[in-house]
Amino acid sequence: MGWKTLDDMDLNGKTVLIRVDINVPVEDGQVTDDTRIQRIVPTVHEVLDRGGKAVLMAHFGRPKGQVVPEMSLSQIVPAVEKCLARTVHFIDGEYGARLGELEMGSVALLENLRFNPGEEKNDEGFASRLASLGDLYVNDAFSAAHRAHASTEAIARLLPSCAGRLMQAELSALETALGTPKRPVVAVVGGAKVSTKLELLSNLVEKTDHLVIGGGMANTFLAAQGIDVGKSLAEHDMTDTASEIISKAKSVGCTIHLPSDVVVAREFKAGAANETVAADACPADAMILDAGPETVANLEGVFDTSETLIWNGPLGAFEIPPFDAATNAAAAKAAELTKAGKLISVAGGGDTVAALNVSGAAEAFTYISTAGGAFLEWMEGKTLPGVAALEG
């Protein structure tokens, strides 16, 4: 790993620019979930404890380079103050002068960076303006690292730079799961569509020993084998691609696991009447909404013999019970093995994290990535510009 951490930096008396992700949900001016803010606390406190001044830089929403008052970060200040247990000085417009007045040990938050068109353009000029405000740059926003923006990429080339504690934890967890994992490695990929996860599937086939395919995308793989999936969600124009993934897996020695039994229903709604049938026996007027118990038992067996698990995508339509059963059972098994010290388990993806939280299994996982797009791109084997810039 070619990037520095806070351990490598002298923070005493330094103004430290910290890129954070505090793009939290807000309703009626209230932050409804402050998880993202809580996660930046260790880095900010460490900068303060070691004698520095913390200047937080972040985006909020998609103002597209214009000042949109409803997307001002000022509304997040109370929530940041609460999580940090510190006063936060909000700095709007011309940042320089006001920042200079703040003593070491203070925390400042700059206005939404995306109010400036230079941010998303990775503009050198805007990056230099930001860089001129501080002595050091710390990137603690892994979830924004897949975008080359002025505050994630260009700035890192202008100041001494390092990863913050959250970025460090995320990169280390991903490295453990996919970079240099303990084998055998099992990947579970579910969710709605093959088309959104093609690159993910091809990369995982190369790097894992077992690939469990579930959710709507498994229907496309079943269809590729000539199986009639009735009214199931399936991408019939992707069946050739699915077949290619299966043959690639064969040639590199990755075992693909498709559902052997499925839960079908005639309506897409909670509590819909349902039955379990063999994977090749979906009635013409029904749709597959979950994996069946035999499939789950097979998957549990694979988990039992694996050292590392990577998971993205629910195994069924988990939002509408009882079609959350396979996802919950797999999550419980992964949690149990992790607690027993027999499995390293890493999961990510918006719906996946929601499903694991609801199932109650999330806490037992080795690492849950909340990074969304950046997590997926990392899993796809892509270089993230925000991480690469720290290595440069």
- 29 labelled catalytic: no
Annotated catalytic residue: which of 193, 231, 266, 339? 193
Q: Which of 134, 313, 385, 386 binds ligand ADP (CB under 6 A)?
A: 313
**Tokens standing for 85?**
């247990």
Is the peptide bond preceding residue 42 cis, with omega within 30 degrees of 0?
Answer: no
Nearer to ligand ADP, 317 or 343 (CB): 317
Per CB under 5 A, the list member of 34, 123, 319, 351 interacting with Mg ion is 351
DSSP state of 382: P
Out of Mg ion, ligand ADP, none, what residue 385 binds, judged by CB under 5 to 8 A for its kind, is none
> Can 36 be counted among the known catalytic residues?
yes
Find out whether 272 and 247 touch, Cβ atoms under 8 Å: no
- 61, 350, 372, 381: which is the annotated catalytic residue? 350
Query: Does position 350 bind ligand ADP by CB under 6 A?
Result: yes
Q: Which does 316 bind (CB under 5 to 8 A by kind): Mg ion, ligand ADP, none?
A: ligand ADP
The full DSSP string for 319-354 is TSTTTTHHHHHHHHHHHHHHHTTS-EEEEE-HHHHH
Q: Which does 317 bind (CB under 5 to 8 A by kind): Mg ion, ligand ADP, none?
A: ligand ADP
* Among Mg ion, ligand ADP, none, residue 215 binds (CB under 5-8 Å by kind): ligand ADP
Q: CA separation (Å) from 212 to 123, 177, 248, 344? A: 42, 16, 15, 16
Q: Smallest gap, in angstroms, from Cβ of residue 217 to ligand ADP?
A: 8
| Catalytic annotation, pick one of 36, 197, 207, 333 | 36
How many residues lie near Mg ion (CB under 5 A)?
2
Residue 348 bridge partners (DSSP): 369
Site for ligand ADP (CB under 6 A): which residue of 72, 338, 352, 369? 352
Would you tell me the crossing angle of helices 35-49 and 77-84 to the nearest 10 degrees?
Answer: 60
Residue 223 phi, psi dihedral angles, 5° rounding: -60, -35
Identify which of 106, 63, 143 has the alpha carbon closest to the alpha carbon of residue 370: 143
Residue 351 contacts ligand ADP per CB under 6 A:
yes
Residues serving a catalytic function are: 36, 193, 350, 373
Where do contacts with Mg ion occur on this chain (CB under 5 A)?
350-351
